[in-house]
Structure 1
Amino acid sequence: MKFLASVRDEMKKVTWPTGKKLRRDVVIVIQTSLIFAVLFYIMDTGIQSLFNWILR
Protein backbone atom coordinates (compact mmCIF):
# COMPACT_ATOMS: atom_id res chain seq x y z
CA MET A 1 0.00 0.00 0.00
CA LYS A 2 3.02 2.25 0.44
CA PHE A 3 3.53 2.15 -3.32
CA LEU A 4 -0.01 3.33 -4.04
CA ALA A 5 0.34 6.14 -1.52
CA SER A 6 3.54 7.33 -3.15
CA VAL A 7 1.88 7.15 -6.60
CA ARG A 8 -0.99 9.29 -5.31
CA ASP A 9 1.48 11.81 -3.86
CA GLU A 10 3.40 12.02 -7.14
CA MET A 11 0.20 12.46 -9.16
CA LYS A 12 -0.64 15.50 -7.01
CA LYS A 13 2.63 17.09 -8.19
CA VAL A 14 1.80 16.67 -11.88
CA THR A 15 0.92 19.85 -13.75
CA TRP A 16 -1.68 19.01 -16.35
CA PRO A 17 -1.92 21.09 -19.54
CA THR A 18 -4.81 23.47 -20.03
CA GLY A 19 -7.45 22.62 -22.60
CA LYS A 20 -6.15 25.32 -24.95
CA LYS A 21 -2.56 24.06 -24.79
CA LEU A 22 -3.68 20.46 -25.21
CA ARG A 23 -5.70 21.32 -28.35
CA ARG A 24 -2.75 23.27 -29.78
CA ASP A 25 -0.38 20.36 -29.17
CA VAL A 26 -2.82 17.88 -30.73
CA VAL A 27 -3.13 20.06 -33.85
CA ILE A 28 0.67 20.26 -34.12
CA VAL A 29 0.98 16.47 -33.86
CA ILE A 30 -1.69 15.93 -36.53
CA GLN A 31 -0.11 18.50 -38.88
CA THR A 32 3.35 16.98 -38.44
CA SER A 33 1.99 13.49 -39.07
CA LEU A 34 0.26 14.62 -42.27
CA ILE A 35 3.40 16.38 -43.51
CA PHE A 36 5.50 13.27 -42.94
CA ALA A 37 2.85 11.06 -44.58
CA VAL A 38 2.89 13.26 -47.70
CA LEU A 39 6.70 13.34 -47.77
CA PHE A 40 6.93 9.55 -47.42
CA TYR A 41 4.34 9.11 -50.17
CA ILE A 42 6.27 11.41 -52.52
CA MET A 43 9.59 9.68 -51.75
CA ASP A 44 8.06 6.22 -52.11
CA THR A 45 6.45 7.10 -55.44
CA GLY A 46 9.69 8.63 -56.70
CA ILE A 47 11.80 5.63 -55.70
CA GLN A 48 9.25 3.25 -57.21
CA SER A 49 9.26 5.20 -60.49
CA LEU A 50 13.07 5.19 -60.50
CA PHE A 51 13.24 1.42 -60.02
CA ASN A 52 10.60 0.85 -62.70
CA TRP A 53 12.60 3.04 -65.11
CA ILE A 54 15.87 1.17 -64.29
CA LEU A 55 14.29 -2.28 -64.64
CA ARG A 56 12.73 -1.62 -68.07
Structure 2
Amino acid sequence: MTAELKKVSWPNRKELTTYTAVVILTVVVVAFIIWVWDVGLTLIFKALGFYR
Protein backbone atom coordinates (compact mmCIF):
# COMPACT_ATOMS: atom_id res chain seq x y z
CA MET A 1 0.00 0.00 0.00
CA THR A 2 2.85 2.41 0.75
CA ALA A 3 4.29 1.77 -2.70
CA GLU A 4 0.97 2.68 -4.31
CA LEU A 5 0.73 5.93 -2.33
CA LYS A 6 4.18 6.92 -3.59
CA LYS A 7 2.88 6.65 -7.17
CA VAL A 8 0.11 9.17 -6.51
CA SER A 9 0.61 12.63 -7.99
CA TRP A 10 -0.37 14.87 -5.08
CA PRO A 11 -1.49 18.46 -5.84
CA ASN A 12 0.63 21.35 -4.66
CA ARG A 13 -0.79 24.04 -2.37
CA LYS A 14 -1.93 26.31 -5.22
CA GLU A 15 -3.73 23.49 -7.02
CA LEU A 16 -5.33 22.32 -3.79
CA THR A 17 -6.56 25.84 -3.03
CA THR A 18 -7.96 26.18 -6.55
CA TYR A 19 -9.72 22.80 -6.44
CA THR A 20 -11.16 23.54 -3.01
CA ALA A 21 -12.47 26.93 -4.16
CA VAL A 22 -14.09 25.35 -7.22
CA VAL A 23 -15.83 22.72 -5.10
CA ILE A 24 -17.09 25.27 -2.57
CA LEU A 25 -18.32 27.61 -5.32
CA THR A 26 -20.07 24.73 -7.09
CA VAL A 27 -21.82 23.67 -3.88
CA VAL A 28 -22.96 27.25 -3.21
CA VAL A 29 -24.28 27.69 -6.77
CA VAL A 30 -26.16 24.37 -6.74
CA ALA A 31 -27.62 25.13 -3.30
CA PHE A 32 -28.78 28.54 -4.57
CA ILE A 33 -30.40 26.98 -7.66
CA ILE A 34 -32.23 24.43 -5.49
CA TRP A 35 -33.36 27.20 -3.12
CA VAL A 36 -34.70 29.28 -6.04
CA TRP A 37 -36.63 26.27 -7.38
CA ASP A 38 -38.02 25.54 -3.91
CA VAL A 39 -39.19 29.10 -3.34
CA GLY A 40 -40.58 29.35 -6.86
CA LEU A 41 -42.53 26.11 -6.66
CA THR A 42 -43.82 27.01 -3.19
CA LEU A 43 -45.14 30.33 -4.51
CA ILE A 44 -46.76 28.61 -7.50
CA PHE A 45 -48.42 25.96 -5.32
CA LYS A 46 -49.64 28.60 -2.87
CA ALA A 47 -51.12 30.59 -5.76
CA LEU A 48 -52.89 27.46 -7.01
CA GLY A 49 -54.33 26.80 -3.56
CA PHE A 50 -52.40 23.68 -2.59
CA TYR A 51 -51.17 25.30 0.63
CA ARG A 52 -53.46 27.17 2.97
TM-score (normalised: structure 2):
0.88
Structure 2: runs of 5 or more not aligned: none
Moved >6 Å (runs of 4+): none
RMSD: 1.1
Structure 1: runs of 5 or more not aligned: 1-6
Instruction: Please state how far the C-alpha of 1:35 moved relative to its aligned partner.
Output: 0.7
Q: Which has the larger radius of gyration?
A: 1
Task: Give the structure, 1 or 2, with the largest relative contact order (CA under 8 Å, sep 6 or more).
Answer: 2
Seq. identity, %? 30
Count of aligned residue pairs for this structure pair = 50
More helix by share: 1
